[in-house]
Amino acid sequence: MGEWTLETLKEYFDDKLSSLEKITELRFDSRRDYIDSKLEGIEKKNNESLSLRDQALKSVYETQTTALNKAEQTLEKRFDGVNEFRSSLEDQQRTFIPRKEVEVLFEALGERIDRNVADIITLRESLIEAAGRKGASSEYIAYFIAIIAILVSIVVFFIKR
């Protein structure tokens, strides 16, 4: 080996530097390729995972939509039944006689019964007087007339109603 001069030293260090640059560049390129391949693999897995999640979410959404539609239909049927029941109650309420009217009718019936009882008592007293005069046959006629009077009053009550 010869002597080192500035030029030879410069060439030597330039060669070393250039070889180091090439080695560093190769290492950098190989690591970049490695990292790029790993990133591509991760990105591919993420895309697959997202695709599976999308499919699962679509399936869940469709299932929930179907369940919601069925629940709405069931609820509508139930409300139809409730409305039908409510309608039948309203019809029934319209056909029932009001309590006030029943009370008035019973009061009138009670008054008629009281009058008939008074009439029967009067007839009985008159029959007793007549029985002493006429005998037992006229007493039966009086009972018969009293029974007819009660029946007539009951029939009149139901006819006026």
Residues 26 and 52 in one domain: yes
Structural domain boundaries, residue 85 = 1-96
Q: Are residues 25 and 63 in the same domain?
A: yes
Helix, coil or strand: residue 96: coil
Give, in order, the Cα–Cα distances in Å from 78 to each of 69, 86, 88. 14, 12, 15
pTM for the full predicted model: 0.37
Pair 56, 108 in one domain: no
Residue 132 is predicted with a pLDDT of 64
84 lies in the same domain as 122: no
Q: Both 80 and 125 in a single domain?
A: no
The residue among 86, 89, 88 whose CA lies nearest residue 78 is 86
Domain count, the chain: 2
Structure tokens at 44: 């591919």
Q: Are residues 45 and 14 in the same domain?
A: yes
Whole-number mean pLDDT of the chain?
A: 85
The pLDDT tens digits for 104-157 are 888 888 888 888 888 888 888 887 776 666 555 666 777 888 899 888 888 888
Spatial contact of 119 and 147, defined as CB atoms under 8 Å apart: no
Residue 2, pLDDT above cutoff 80: no
pLDDT tens digits for 32-64? 889 989 999 999 999 988 888 999 999 999 999
Among 47, 77, 96, the domain boundary falls at 96
